[in-house]
Amino acid sequence: MENFALLRVLGKGAYGKVYLVRKVGGKDHGSMYAMKVIRKNRVISKAKTLEHTQAERKVLEKVKGVPFLVNLHYAFQSDTKLHIVMEYVRGGELFTHLCNRGSFDIKTAKFFIAELIVAIDSLHQRKVIYRDLKLENILLDEEGHIKLTDFGLSKLLDPDELDRANSYCGTVEYMSPEVVDRPLDGYTDIVDWWSMGVIAFELITGCSPFTVDGGNNSSKDIARRILTKKVPFPRDINPDAKDFISKLLDKRLQTRLGYNGVHEIMNHPFLADIDWEKAGHRELKPEIVPLVTDSMDVQNFAQEFTNQAPVYSPAESPLSGNGLFRGYSYVTPSVYFDNNNIIGEELLSENIQGFLKDSSFFQKYRLDPSEKGMLGKGSFSVCRRCERKEDGAPFAVKIVSTRFGFQAQRESSILELVKGHPNIVRLIEVHSDQHHYYIVLELLEGQELLARLRRMAKFTEAEAAQIMKQLVSAVSYLHEKRIVHRDLKPENILFESDAVDARLRLVDFGFARQLPNAIDQQLKTPCFTLQYAAPEVLDVGDTLPEYNEQCDLWSLGVILFTMLSGQVPFRARSRTESATDIIQRIRQAEFSFDNDAWSTVSSDAKELIIGLLTVDPNKRLSMSQLKKHSWLHSNYTMQLGTPLMTPNRLPESAGEAFNETLQAFLNANREGFHLLDVEAAPLLQKRRGLKRQGGEKDTAHNNKRTPALGPVPEETQRPTVLGMSSPDAMMNYRCPQPGTIRETRGSDSS
């Protein structure tokens, strides 16, 4: 917080405040931002709130730079709070401007509707459902163009979820029938077009379509009207506007405007005079230009907040927050000379190079400015292609902010220790300057493991054994050096080229650690990707887990399972499963070989997997046992020539899905899990034909559908006619209200 000066309060919600702040120091010194400050102890008290808070951070990074969406500049955390630093949009909420005018004329309404359509479509193109479109979340910039803010309820869709979500969330006046009714198969991004219809009605009439003046307007009453009542149009409403809104507010999903694509909405007669190319480039002329006098002007925000003293109040540390917000921090690449920075595109331009003439790295290397030159991006680093100036030799360079200098030095020292092994990425040299550390590595031209397997016409068990043999050799070498990798997964296994006989390299030693000197002292910092995490790594309760090199052996078992079957043993089986379900299966060694993909896999391979995925690390195969296993011996694997189903079964999103589950896992594991002996693992008992003790639990209630109109937590009441009678309604440049999030029948984790 020493890099930001608090100036004014802009809003306040259940979990924190939004401040106007000025940046102190760095390249953007003096810049104004809006900073949302969220208390961790309030967020983690509810699982859904935690998930939505983490999702907001991900969505903001995903939509960075998209027109009509508020831009994220920083995200960071302290022991007690989360901080999201966004651009300051000085024109205030559209709700406030509508309140001041009562309603908008058709021309003004069309302008806002057109820009909103472009904004929502840009989210949908990036697989994001907004789910909280309302007047309070639409800001105006100083020119009068819109900016959507508050992505706390947005859903970043996973391809495996079939582009559907299930959570009951949003503001009830804007919820579509399918969100209110909660069908078993969930809903799609079409729910945002329903909300667009409500917005259009409000802009033109100044009223809310599903509230009744002087009547009962509880959330339950509004929800019932959404499901059963027609829209009460004024008699004098523009006919094209009425038809447009009616089709957006069609309760029948298949006939709703926008169901077949955004072109349906753009081509409606009501919007016939909109130049959509100009709309997409912010070239339509705004009908309302907010009054803004200077960079600190807050007159377009509610005085009940702006008159408050901007005090950064203390908060209690969460009791069980270890690791829950790992990876939360973010710095926009444009802030390339800030103390928190990572390198962005700007450093590739010639006019910036003058600032770096004294950097030893840039004296010797030049970065590849092409799109191909970006090799990877992490929470506090980027990896780029570069070439040595003297001979044009290509390399990869991992560029790390000096803020994370300790981590960079630790990683480079570990890479130095393991130099020389043919299956570990080779360290070339390390440079540093006042802004960054530069870890120069050999350039690997081949693909990651799963991508390589997907493109293979035929992949046999013998080939899997050869890959596994190289992996075992690399990990064994690490363990001989008393180093634990701690993040073994397919995306950290690259090939030197795309040649058939190319060797693999183990990469990314950012989580790697040297084992302590005392033989019985074990590592305690949880760093892992969910599906590859060993059971002992998952035991995060009141104390940190203890584990040694055995956790790497577990991960090797998961990788082998994935190579042989095309599936991960412990990943979600459906979109309704949570991270808790995955962890429970890991803790119980709950996997099977019943799938038809295993029909041609040898019994030796299955035996090896069982040995590696044994829950108790003391009973798990040791490295010496693994290296001696018959399945890895070339004279045996020559017989294993039957093609596997793996290339055809690996989903395109496999690698991404593995990583995206991590935050959900960290949320779930804070409750802790108890070690189940491998002999009692349910599926192991089933495989051996043993009868379960105590019979099956009755799970019928778990599949029972939640009533569509159950009691819904009340929101702050909105007036039927949009006037200034309710100052509380103007506060939504803020954190989501707790009433907007509701747990539902164990649906998706969003």
**Which residue among the candidates 28, 121, 132, 338 is catalytic per the annotation?**
132
Give the Cα separation of 28 and 24 in Å (integer): 8
- d(Cα 747, Cα 739) in Å, to the nearest integer? 18
The two tokens of residue 141 are 């910039």
Contact (Cβ atoms closer than 8 angstroms) between residue 102 and residue 237: no
Burial of 705 by CB count in 10 Å (0-12 exposed, 13-18 middle, 19+ buried)? Answer: exposed
Rounded CA gap, 638 and 630, in Å?
Answer: 12
Q: Could you give the angle at the alpha carbon of 149 between the alpha carbons of 146 and 155, nearest 5°?
A: 125
Q: What is the biggest distance separating any 2 CA atoms in the chain, rounded to whole angstroms?
A: 86
Q: How far apart are CA 51 and CA 496, in angstroms?
A: 38
Q: Which of 121, 192, 338, 487 is catalytic?
A: 487
Residue 566 CB neighbour total at 10 angstroms:
22
CA–CA dist 625, 630 (Å, integer): 10
Strands 138-140 vs 146-148: parallel, antiparallel or unpaired: antiparallel
The Cα 469–Cα 471 span in angstroms is 5
Distance of CA 627 to the CA centre of its chain: 38
d(CA 493, CA 479): 17
Distance between CA atoms of 182 and 657, rounded to whole angstroms? 25
CA 324 to chain CA centroid, Å, is 13
End-to-end CA distance of the chain: 30
Cβ 14 vs Cβ 737: under 8 Å: yes
Q: How many residues does the chain have?
A: 750
Specify burial of residue 266 (Cβ count, 10 A radius: 0-12, 13-18, 19+): middle
* Residues contacting residue 108 through CB under 8 Å, at least 6 positions apart: 203, 287, 288
Q: What angle do CA 409, 414, 419 make, to 5 degrees?
A: 125
Q: Give which of 413, 477, 478 is closest to 439, Cα–Cα.
A: 413
Could you write out the three-class secondary structure of 87-122? ECCCCCEHHHHHHHHCCCCHHHHHHHHHHHHHHHHH
487 catalytic per annotation: yes
282 Rama class: left (phi>0) / alpha (psi -120 to 50) / beta: left
Distance of CA 452 to the CA centre of its chain: 25
What phi and psi values does residue 392 have, to the nearest 5 degrees?
75, 10
- Residue 79 CA to residue 73 CA, distance in Å, equals 21
For residues 592-621, one letter each, b for 16 or more C-beta atoms within 10 angstroms of the residue's C-beta and e for the rest, the string is ebeeebbeebbebbbebbbbbbbbebeebb
Q: Catalytic annotation on 294?
A: no
Give the active site residues: 132, 487
